[in-house]
Amino acid sequence: MAEKIDEKKVTPRSQDFAAWYNDIILRAELADYSPVRGCMVFRPDGFAIWEALRDELDRRLKATGARNAYFPILIPQSFLQKETEHVEGFAPELAVVTHGGGKELEEPLVVRPTSETIINHMFAQWIRSHRDLPMMLNQWCNVVRWEMRTRLFLRTSEFLWQEGHTAHATREEAEEETLKILEVYRTFVEDFLAIPLVVGRKSAAERFPGAVETYAIEGMMGDGRALQCGTSHFLGQNFAKPFETRYLDENNQLQYVWQTSWGVSTRLLGAIIMAHGDDQGLRIPPTVAATQVVVVPIWRKVDEGDKVLAAARTALEALERAGIRVRLDAREGLTPGFKFNDWEMRGVAIRIEIGPRDVAAGEAVLARRDMKGPEAKSKASLASIAENAKSLLDEIQRSLYAQAKAARDATTREPADYAALREQMAGEGGAGFAIAYWCGNPACETKIREETKASCRAIPLNQKIAPGKCIVCGESADERAYFAKAY
């Protein structure tokens, strides 16, 4: 293990963000490239983050009344063609199974890029009466969307996600569900992943193919680019009509259902890395970290080793009893400095150092990953190490959020005019969010995208502001929108 770690050098984040991103993923063994074009491999340290994230979000989604189910990965090609915009949006990205069991299939099957179509086919059979509504299902699964330009976690041909699909008796109820899930996503990503968000609806150009309205949560990454972290769609009756998903209302009249769909994916791992990481490597929020605390025993003389190791093991057990995910790094032949760098790279929130003098004093040093220099270190009594670590983990979770928010706020601008917007977005890299009045005309949005490479990320909900002038055309505008260069 040691040799391999030594071999890999990590590009500093400040020097080349994209290279840094790939380097730390490989170096911290979160993931790897696969021999299949566009597909990636999730290694245990990366997958453990996904598991922690998934379990918590699953709990929150179930609390809204959604239940988990599972639908086939293979979908008849004809199903996708039933909704015009849907097939236009997904056709270029499909992986198609043409042969099965040694024979050419009569009808090709697509590997699901999303499951609105096959789920509507089933909903149409399960939903008969208003008493069957609302029907709220979710599935955790893999999807495939053929990608030519891929990036680990952010854009891969296969990715893992959850997709929720609901059917309701009324438009109002479906719209309410769309926004309720958006709020579940917002609180989950802000609280649990420590990533501050901008929330709002998407412009027509950025809408999910087949949706009436798409809402999104958008995070700001360390390089000034925005990342869409989750979407919630109000589908209206766009799928209900072609699939004949209908119910008998209380007056015995057949009505089409109103629907929603919503999802977050393994892209969130990319968000965690890019929102929190620094030149030293990952900084994983304690809530989702596979390892929250590492104990590093330090000694030189052989006769000191036993006492130090015994104290480290006692600390380890106390931390484990307190429910903290902790590891002891008793690897031999590696210097403390090497180990410190290694665990910093892997983003472990707290490093506990225990040396001979600490043992004598009944103390240990706690070094927090979210800070640098002498302030990052504090001493704690070995007797109360678990309580100390526990409250420090909470503090680090809050601190990572605060740091990410400060970084985002520092780059968020309100350009006075179009020239200022162009200036903000000039250059190769990202440039933070620009908040500006937009009249809603797609032509103005297109002009911004073509001339500044920034896209409309979100139009905040319930804006209580006076009308202004569109930053592009100067016409009257009721709303402001967030623009940014994005992943």
Q: Give the pairing of strands 213-220 and 197-201.
A: antiparallel
Record the tokens describing residue 461, joined without a space.
């909900």
Among 15, 101, 302, 373, binds its own copies (CB under 8 A): 101
- Whole-angstrom Cα Rg for the chain: 25
Q: Report yes or no: 115 and 75 within 8 Å, Cβ to Cβ.
A: yes
Among 74, 361, 383, 406, binds its own copies (CB under 8 A): 74
Record the tokens describing residue 261, joined without a space.
């769909």
Sequence length of the chain is: 487
Residue 469, classified by CB atoms within 10 Å of its CB into exposed (0-12), middle (13-18) or buried (19+), is middle
Reference 389, options 324, 458, 337; nearest CA is 324
Record the tokens describing residue 292, joined without a space.
């929250």
* DSSP assignment letter at 180: H
**Complete edge-to-edge strand list for the sheet that includes strand 434-438:** 434-438, 479-484, 455-458
Distance of CA 126 to the CA centre of its chain: 32
The site string for its own copies over 138-167 (x = CB under 8 A, - otherwise) reads ---xx-x-xxx--------xx-x-------
| Binding status of residue 48 toward its own copies by CB under 8 A | yes
Among 9, 15, 63, 99, binds its own copies (CB under 8 A): 99
Among 8, 59, 131, 171, binds its own copies (CB under 8 A): 131
Q: Strands, E, within 266-335: which ranges?
A: 293-297, 326-328
* DSSP assignment letter at 174: H
Q: Report yes or no: 226 and 219 within 8 Å, Cβ to Cβ.
A: yes
Among 5, 22, 26, 34, binds its own copies (CB under 8 A): 34
Sign of CA dihedral 121, 262, 222, 470: positive
Nearer to its own copies, 75 or 348 (CB): 75
Nearer to its own copies, 292 or 403 (CB): 292
Nearer to its own copies, 140 or 256 (CB): 140
| Binding status of residue 92 toward its own copies by CB under 8 A | yes
Q: Report yes or no: 472 and 450 within 8 Å, Cβ to Cβ.
A: no
| Binding status of residue 365 toward its own copies by CB under 8 A | no
Nearer to its own copies, 12 or 323 (CB): 323
Nearest-10 Cα torsion for 214, 215, 221, 226: 50
Nearer to its own copies, 118 or 359 (CB): 118
Among 52, 57, 75, 312, binds its own copies (CB under 8 A): 75
Nearer to its own copies, 35 or 374 (CB): 35
Sign of CA dihedral 151, 403, 225, 182: positive
Among 102, 373, 374, 467, binds its own copies (CB under 8 A): 102
Record the tokens describing residue 199, joined without a space.
């929330």
Nearer to its own copies, 102 or 467 (CB): 102
Q: Report yes or no: 291 and 46 within 8 Å, Cβ to Cβ.
A: no
- Number of Cβ within 10 Å of residue 375's Cβ equals 8
Question: Smallest gap, in angstroms, from Cβ of residue 79 to its own copies?
Answer: 8
| Binding status of residue 373 toward its own copies by CB under 8 A | no
Question: Token pair 């319930």 is at which residue?
Answer: 462
Nearer to its own copies, 144 or 354 (CB): 144
Please, what's the largest Cα pairwise distance for the chain? 86
Among 43, 405, 422, 469, binds its own copies (CB under 8 A): 43
Site residue total, its own copies (CB under 8 A):
63
Nearer to its own copies, 128 or 300 (CB): 128
Among 14, 98, 378, 463, binds its own copies (CB under 8 A): 98
Nearer to its own copies, 19 or 36 (CB): 36
Window of 74-82, 225-233, 350-358, 392-400 that interacts with its own copies by CB under 8 A: 74-82
Question: Smallest gap, in angstroms, from Cβ of residue 413 to its own copies?
Answer: 37
Cα–Cα dist 187/64, whole Å: 14
Nearer to its own copies, 99 or 464 (CB): 99
Question: Smallest gap, in angstroms, from Cβ of residue 168 to its own copies?
Answer: 17
Question: Smallest gap, in angstroms, from Cβ of residue 49 to its own copies?
Answer: 11
Residues that bind its own copies (CB under 8 A): 1-4, 32, 34-36, 39-44, 47-48, 50-51, 67-76, 79, 91-102, 108-109, 111, 118, 121-122, 125-126, 128-129, 131-132, 137, 141-142, 144, 146-148, 157-158, 160
